[in-house]
Amino acid sequence: MARAEQGPRRVVVVKVGTSTLTRGGGALCREAMLELARALVMLRRAGDEVVLVSSGAMAAGREALGHPRLPPLMSAKQMLASVGQGHLMRLWSELFGIFGVQVGQLLLTRADLEDRERYLNAHDTLFALLGHGILPIINENDAVSTREIKIGDNDNLAALTAVMCSARLVILLTDQKGLYTQDPRTCPDATLIGRVELLDAAVLALGGGAGSAQGTGGMATKLTAARTATEAGVELVIAAGANPAQIPALARGEGEGTFFTPQPRHLQRRKSWLATAVRPQGVLVVDQGAARALLGGSSLLPSGIVAVHGEFLPGALVEVSDLEGGEVARGIARYAAHELRQIQGRKSTEIGQVLGMTRGDVAIHRDDLVLRGEEGNA
Percent of the chain with pLDDT over 90: 46
Calculate the CA dihedral of residues 264, 270, 272, 276 and round it to 10 degrees.
180
For residue 133, what pLDDT is reported?
Answer: 95
Domain with CATH 2.30.130.10 in the chain: 280-371
pLDDT exceeds cutoff 80 at 1: no
For residue 156, what pLDDT is reported?
Answer: 87
For residue 269, what pLDDT is reported?
Answer: 55
Give the CATH H-level superfamily of domain 280-371: PUA domain (2.30.130.10)
Helix (H) or strand (E) holding 311: none
Tens-place pLDDT, residues 281-317: 899 999 999 999 998 889 999 999 999 999 988 878 8
Q: Given pLDDT bands bounded at 50, 70 and 90, which one contains residue 192?
A: very high
Count CB-CB contacts under 10 A for residue 3.
10
Which residues have a Cβ under 8 Å from the Cβ of 270 and sit 6 or more positions away?
A: none
Percent of the chain with pLDDT over 70: 85
Cβ 291 vs Cβ 352: under 8 Å: no
The model's pTM: 0.72
Q: What is the DSSP string of 127-179?
A: HHHHHTT-EEEEEE-TTT--TTT----HHHHHHHHHHHTT-SEEEEEESSSS-
Taking the C-alpha atoms of residue 162 and residue 166, their distance in angstroms, rounded to an integer, is: 6
Phi/psi for 167 (5° steps) reads -65, 160
Tens-place pLDDT, residues 220-255: 889 989 988 888 889 999 999 999 999 999 999 999
Tens-place pLDDT, residues 112-142: 777 767 777 888 899 899 999 999 999 887 6
**Which CATH number applies to 11-271?**
3.40.1160.10
pLDDT exceeds cutoff 60 at 214: no
Taking the C-alpha atoms of residue 202 and residue 181, their distance in angstroms, rounded to an integer, is: 11
Domain with CATH 3.40.1160.10 in the chain: 11-271
Tens-place pLDDT, residues 246-282: 999 999 999 999 999 987 655 555 566 666 656 788 9
Q: Given pLDDT bands bounded at 50, 70 and 90, which one contains residue 72?
A: confident
Count CB-CB contacts under 10 A for residue 44.
17
3-state secondary structure of 358: coil
Cβ 56 vs Cβ 88: under 8 Å: yes
